[in-house]
Structures are given as C-alpha cells and as structure tokens.
Copies of this chain bind each other. A is one copy, B any other.
Amino acid sequence: MTTVLESLNHALHTAMQADPGVYLLGEDLLDPYGGAFKVARGLSTAFPDRVLTSPISEAGLVGLASGMALRGLRPVVEIMFGDFLTLSADQLINHAAKFRWMYNDRVRVPLVVRTPMGGRRGYGPTHSQSLEKHFLGTPGLRVLAPCDLGDPGLLLRQAILEDDPVLFIENKLLYLCRIPSGKDLADLELTTLNPDSAAAPGLDAQTYAPAYTLRMRGAPPARLTLVAYGYMAHLARQAMVQLAYENEIFTELVILTQLAPFTIQPVLDSVQQTGRVLAIEEGSLSMGWGAEIVARVAAALGPRLLASQRLAALDSAIPASGPLEAETLPDTAAIIQAAKKMV
C-alpha cells in the first residue's frame, strides 16, 4: 500500500520524467536529504539539473518561479513549512495570480507552489499552522489539497500540467497515511465526482480535482453531511465509521480536493438529503474554509438547511506543548462530539 508521501514523490518523478520543462525549486531539496518532509527524495539524483536547491528566500523563490513559468517552464516550488507562505503572499497575490488576467489573458503562469501545513507534531506556533485560509479566494489562484483517497499524485501531476498558478496544500500527518484499498473501504460506499470545477476569471476549468462522497454501506439515510479536506478528511472518515458503529448516527462525508475556486454542488447534493452540514478543517475557525462552505450551502438551501456548524482549530496560536496542542486542534473525538450535538 502506498502512502500519500510516496504517491506525491512518485508523481514528481513522473512529471519531471515526462516534461523537461518541469523544475523543482526549494530549500534543502538535494539528496540524500530530499527536502524537509522527503517529498523531493530522489529527484535531485534523477534530475540533477532541474532540482534547484535554494537560499532561504520564500518571496524571491516564488517570484522567480513565476518568472520561469511566464517564460515557458513549469516550476514547482516547495515551501518548507506552510507557515512561511506568508512571506510569499505578495508574490502569490499581487504577481503570479494576477498576471494572466491583468495582462489581458495573453500570458500564462503554470506555477505550482507546494507546501506542508498542519500541526500535531509539537513544532509550535510558527511551524504548525494551516494557513491556507488566508490564500483561498485569491482571484486567479487555484488551491488544491490532496487527501488519502483517489490518487494524490495524479492531483499533483494535473496541477503541474495546468497553465495557471496552483497552491498545493499538503498536510504533514497526511504524508504517512496509506491510501486505502477497496477492501479497506468495504464498509463504505464511495462516489467520486469530478466536477467541472468553477472556471473563474483568469482560470480555466481543471481536469482532475475530484470530490468524494462516502456513505456507510447499507445504512439508513444519513442525517448529517460532514465536509472536509486533507488530513481532516482522514479523521472525519474515522469519525464517520465510529459514529455509525458506536452511536448509530449515520452521516455522509464529502471530501473536496479543490478548495478554490470550487463548486459547492457535491456538498449540496448531500445536504439536500441530510439537511445538516458540519464543515471540518484544521485551520483556525474564524474566516476559515468552513465559512465559505456553510455560506454557500445556506444560500442555496435557505430554510431547508436545518443545522450547520463548523469544527476547526481554536482561534489562537498553536502551542508546542502536546497536551495544549491536542486541545487546540480538532481530532476524531471532537468530530464525533460535534456530530452528536447536531442530530
């Protein structure tokens, strides 16, 4: 069984093999180290000229890669910790994401910025955050997040093939999750949707960014829709099973891999049946991804939305101390508790 990490690593190998225009840039990428989280492992050995290990310059690096992208290459930038994305905010928001549209659709920026987010490793306030919420809703910037279903590597490969900038959000704990086989999911019914993802100004529709819907096989109708992405989708799947077996609460879980721009349809399809939605994310609550989910569902369903809630990290910095960190971030138990309250 493959891990998400292996899948992503393999995808980078494949992408670099397939296209000599693909470059990988980032800090400490060279083998044997292969990047802080090892997603780059083996690449500098296989493609020594196309893995550019860089100084510590997150803004410069993203800007430089945008320039490469404007001139015919397909750079992939690794930002060592997602926490440092704040340093590239100007390059992402005021440069890479704007170029195509502001230059009247005459240029393209096939740039991918990948970065690991997330806590639960005790790294403390500056190395544990899930800051993607600050970048969602940037016109011209697609944001993707693999989960442990489907083919995370394919999601990355498609991102690299795209002609518009993509922010690709990985999660540190997701790396080691194994992609379950059909047998592992035997208790579940899995629907994969590949929604024609909302084409927004300055962005084309993208080919592979599936949404998944999971149900307990043969269960009574679900009374609550869980929505999640990334590692939280993994935890939500555990919660879903536990809720069914231990509490006889049946839920549906919708997992998105495209966070922005996105279509709410797969979520609506489920909430139309269940009437209730719980959006789950690891980032801090306020102005998070879940707000957009709930707002869209509420707008679409009006009074048919019986209940909506969000579960997220506390609105505080993330402490290094294990017990404090565990309280700060939402886990399976918290999902179960929140779900129970809603039905």
Contact surface of A with B, Cβ cutoff 8 Å = 83-84, 86-87, 89-90, 92-94, 97-98, 101-102, 124-126, 131, 133-140, 200-202, 260-261, 284-295, 297-299, 302-310, 314-317, 319
Residues on B with C-beta less than 8 A from A134 are 89, 93, 134-135, 137-138
Residue of B nearest to A143 (CB): B287
Tell whether A295 pairs with B317 under 8 Å between CB atoms, given A133-B287, A303-B305.
Answer: no
CA distance A98 to B261 in the complex (A): 29
Residues on B with C-beta less than 8 A from A284 are 137, 139
Question: Of the candidates B102, B124, B287, which one forms a contact with A291 in the assembled complex, judged by CB atoms under 8 Å apart?
Answer: B287
Beta-carbon contact of B290 and A295 below 8 Å: yes
Residues on B with C-beta less than 8 A from A201 are 314-317
CA distance A287 to B288 in the complex (A): 8
Tell whether A294 pairs with B298 under 8 Å between CB atoms, given A135-B134, A139-B317.
Answer: yes
Residues on B with C-beta less than 8 A from A302 are 305-308
Beta-carbon contact of B285 and A137 below 8 Å: yes
Question: Of the candidates B86, B200, B260, B289, which one forms a contact with A90 in the assembled complex, judged by CB atoms under 8 Å apart?
Answer: B86
Question: Of the candidates B87, B94, B261, B295, which one forms a contact with A295 in the assembled complex, judged by CB atoms under 8 Å apart?
Answer: B295
Residues on B with C-beta less than 8 A from A94 are 83, 86, 126
CA distance A308 to B296 in the complex (A): 9
Beta-carbon contact of B137 and A286 below 8 Å: yes
Chain B nearest CB, measured from A156 CB (Å): 23
Q: Which of A90, A284, A288 gathers the greatest number of chain B CB atoms within 10 Å?
A: A90
Beta-carbon contact of B317 and A98 below 8 Å: yes
Tell whether A286 pairs with B136 under 8 Å between CB atoms, given A295-B298, A298-B305, A314-B201.
Answer: yes
Chain B nearest CB, measured from A169 CB (Å): 14
Residue of B nearest to A279 (CB): B295
Residues on B with C-beta less than 8 A from A298 are 294-295, 297-298, 305, 308
Q: Which of A124, A202, A261, A287 gathers the greatest number of chain B CB atoms within 10 Å?
A: A287
